[in-house]
């Protein structure tokens, strides 16, 4: 019997960002004789991930880099470590770029002094984001805050100041936007057209953009405002500013406001505000009794006098799965919300790390005896590591684990394409799906996997190519997350 060998070492004081270390880990894992590899900063979450891979870790500090390698044979260690060094050196070269005569600016304020940019993008750890955003507002610029984990009181202060100065704060945790035809963050490639979107939801915005693009309808802009903007605390401060911007744009014929479930009083106030605008406003606000995002997109098409197409899907119908539970593994929080809203009407309360009802909040083990849906892009799960649309490893590890559980009957997932996301998500997701189905069959049961693949043919990953690869692995694939959820519920015997 062959046994593996583990090597775990610390590199105190070494640093690379999470995206660079993801590529380092992939490069090392590809070395002949390496069974698994994880190179990461020693954050609490990364320590948990490495421990779940079966490695024994020494005491660490957040300034340590962990190098964890599992080898078929100890003789391969030198080659693996050489690959670590080479990959880290390559990452450093990509980061450093060419030597510059002028030192690069180290703050937003200094950067804006050197140019005439109208928008500043902030992507720093959340505790520092407000300072950089304030520099942008003080310079009279709009600001997009990609950073998450920004205290809500800082968000409110920034947005109040922006409103006073007729500026726009997009975010915090604004993952998707399109301004002047340029995608920012996780953005899909869509055609120009008459619709302007205001989004308190990143993947909700992407779902709408991709459905409308599929129907031949393009965008003037997509202005993200951050997932908390329609909360009681923030009271739609940026949503109103963004709506006013689009109302003043002659090319925008219809404004669409999309959000994960908002505070009821804020939604009521926002509808009243919309009546003051000259441009028609269509609301796509998720919530109990409200239309799903696909129905909202169809409503937009009707308002524009366009036909609703047959939304695409790929793959053969799955075999009838064994009785059990539905498991949802999402990278997009709004897509997770949408699936939970649809599921609770058919299967009852859904356990989640972003629950609709706090009584059904998951514990640290992310396990539950009942329908379960996890948002792997939630702030608590991205601290110290890249978003799952960039680094799928945590979610795919959970997929493999849950596929081995006899209680798992149907797995529902999203795969979100676009600029900024994994360049080829099917390259890792498809083998993981194939292995999950095979694992269940080896145990004598059928497991169904249903995927919502959100993207366009113009995206760098190409929607058709990605969807076909996922379908070839055994998944049923839909462009519409709502249709994917209905199919999952149908396989559970709970069709709408």
Residue 106 banded pLDDT, cuts 50, 70, 90: confident
- Do residues 344 and 298 touch, judged by C-beta distance below 8 A? no
Check residue 98 and give its pLDDT. 47
Q: What is the pLDDT of residues 16-72, one digit of tens each?
A: 887 788 889 989 988 999 999 999 999 888 898 899 889 999 999 988 999 999 999
State the first-to-last Cα distance of the chain, in angstroms, to the nearest integer: 51
Distance, CA of 450 to CA of 438 (rounded, Å): 15
Check residue 256 and give its pLDDT. 98
Give the mean pLDDT of 426-442: 97
Give the sign of the dihedral formed by CA 298, CA 263, CA 344, CA 413.
positive
Distance, CA of 136 to CA of 134 (rounded, Å): 5
The phi and psi torsions of 440 (rounded to 5 degrees) equal -65, -40
Check residue 119 and give its pLDDT. 94
pLDDT-wise least confident of 89-93, 249-253, 325-329: 89-93
pLDDT at 1 over 50: no
Distance, CA of 289 to CA of 466 (rounded, Å): 33
For residue 392, give the DSSP letter.
Answer: -
Check residue 44 and give its pLDDT. 84
pLDDT at 96 over 80: no
pLDDT at 265 over 60: yes
- Find which of 13-17, 124-128, 456-460 is predicted with most confidence, using mean pLDDT: 456-460
- Per DSSP bridges, beta strands 176-179 and 169-170 are unpaired
- The 3-state DSSP class for residue 205 equals helix
User: Domain map of the chain by residue range?
Assistant: 5-91, 108-303, 313-495
Residue 317 banded pLDDT, cuts 50, 70, 90: very high
Give the mean pLDDT of 398-426: 96
pLDDT at 244 over 90: yes
Check residue 494 and give its pLDDT. 75
Give the mean pLDDT of 122-140: 92
Check residue 97 and give its pLDDT. 53
Tokens standing for residue 30: 């590809």
Check residue 99 and give its pLDDT. 46
Check residue 387 and give its pLDDT. 87
Which helix (H) or strand (E) segment holds residue 294: the answer is helix 293-303
Domain covering 313-495 assigned CATH 3.40.1360.10 in the classification: no
pLDDT at 383 over 80: no
Give the sign of the dihedral formed by CA 173, CA 422, CA 49, CA 446.
positive
Give the mean pLDDT of 380-400: 88
Distance, CA of 144 to CA of 132 (rounded, Å): 11
> CA nearest 126: which of 173, 162, 186, 174?
173
Give the mean pLDDT of 401-425: 96
Check residue 45 and give its pLDDT. 80
Residue with the bigger pLDDT between 117 and 328: it is 328
Check residue 389 and give its pLDDT. 93
Q: Percent of the chain beyond pLDDT 90?
A: 80
Residue 323 banded pLDDT, cuts 50, 70, 90: very high
Check residue 85 and give its pLDDT. 93
Tokens standing for residue 356: 């609709």
- Looking at 3.40.50.261, 3.40.50.300, 3.40.50.1980, 3.30.1330.10, the CATH number of the domain 108-303 comes to 3.40.50.261
Check residue 237 and give its pLDDT. 98
Query: How does the average pLDDT of the chain come out, rounded?
Result: 93
Check residue 52 and give its pLDDT. 84
Check residue 116 and give its pLDDT. 83
Q: Output the CATH code of domain 5-91.
A: 3.30.1360
Q: CATH topology of 5-91 equal to that of 108-303?
A: no
Give the mean pLDDT of 240-266: 97
Check residue 95 and give its pLDDT. 56
pLDDT at 2 over 80: no
pLDDT at 100 over 70: no
Angle (nearest 5°) at CA 43 between 38 and 46: 35
């Amino acid at each position: 019997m062959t046994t593996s060998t583990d090597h775990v070492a610390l590199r105190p004081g070494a640093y690379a960002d999470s995206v660079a270390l993801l590529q380092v880990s992939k490069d090392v894992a590809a070395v002949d004789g390496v069974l698994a590899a994880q190179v990461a900063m020693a954050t609490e979450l990364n320590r948990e991930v490495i421990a779940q891979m079966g490695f024994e870790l020494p005491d660490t500090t957040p300034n340590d880099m962990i190098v964890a390698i599992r080898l078929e044979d100890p003789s391969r260690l030198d080659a693996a470590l050489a690959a670590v060094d080479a990959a880290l050196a390559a990452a450093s070269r990509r980061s450093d770029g060419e030597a510059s005569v002028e030192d690069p600016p180290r703050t937003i304020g200094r950067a804006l002094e050197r140019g005439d940019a109208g928008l500043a993008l902030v992507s720093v750890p959340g505790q520092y984001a407000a300072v950089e955003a304030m520099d942008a507002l003080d310079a009279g610029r709009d600001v997009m805050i990609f950073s998450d984990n920004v205290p809500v009181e800082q968000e409110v202060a920034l947005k109040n100041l922006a409103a006073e100065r007729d500026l726009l704060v997009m975010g915090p945790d604004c993952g998707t936007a399109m301004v002047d035809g340029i995608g920012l963050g996780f953005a899909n490639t869509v055609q120009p057209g008459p619709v302007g979107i205001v989004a308190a939801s990143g993947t909700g915005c992407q779902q709408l953009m991709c459905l409308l693009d599929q129907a031949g309808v393009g965008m003037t802009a997509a202005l993200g405002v951050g997932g908390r903007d329609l909360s009681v605390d923030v009271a739609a401060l940026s949503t109103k500013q963004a709506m006013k911007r689009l109302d003043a744009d002659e090319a925008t014929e219809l404004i669409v406001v999309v959000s994960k479930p908002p505070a009821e009083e804020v939604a009521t106030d926002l509808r009243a505000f919309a009546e003051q605008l000259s441009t028609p406003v269509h609301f796509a606000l998720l919530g109990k009794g409200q239309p799903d995002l696909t129905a909202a997109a169809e409503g937009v098409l009707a308002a524009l006098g366009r036909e609703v197409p047959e939304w695409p899907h790929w793959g053969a119908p799955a075999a009838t799965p064994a009785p059990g539970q539905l498991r949802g593994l999402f990278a997009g929080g709004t897509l997770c919300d949408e699936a939970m809203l649809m599921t609770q009407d058919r299967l009852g309360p859904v356990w989640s790390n972003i629950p609709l009802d706090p009584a059904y909040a998951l514990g640290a083990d992310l396990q539950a005896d009942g329908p379960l849906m996890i948002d792997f892009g939630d702030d608590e799960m991205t601290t110290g590591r890249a978003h799952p649309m960039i680094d799928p490893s945590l979610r795919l590890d959970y997929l493999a684990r849950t596929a081995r559980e006899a209680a798992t009957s149907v797995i529902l997932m999203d795969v979100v394409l676009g600029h900024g996301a994994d360049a080829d998500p099917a390259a890792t997701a498809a083998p993981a799906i194939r292995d999950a189905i095979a694992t269940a069959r080896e145990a004598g049961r059928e497991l169904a996997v249903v995927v919502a693949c959100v993207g366009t043919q113009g995206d760098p990953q190409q929607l058709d190519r990605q969807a076909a690869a996922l379908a070839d692995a055994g998944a049923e694939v839909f462009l519409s997350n709502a249709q994917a959820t209905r199919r999952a519920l149908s396989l559970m015997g709970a069709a709408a």
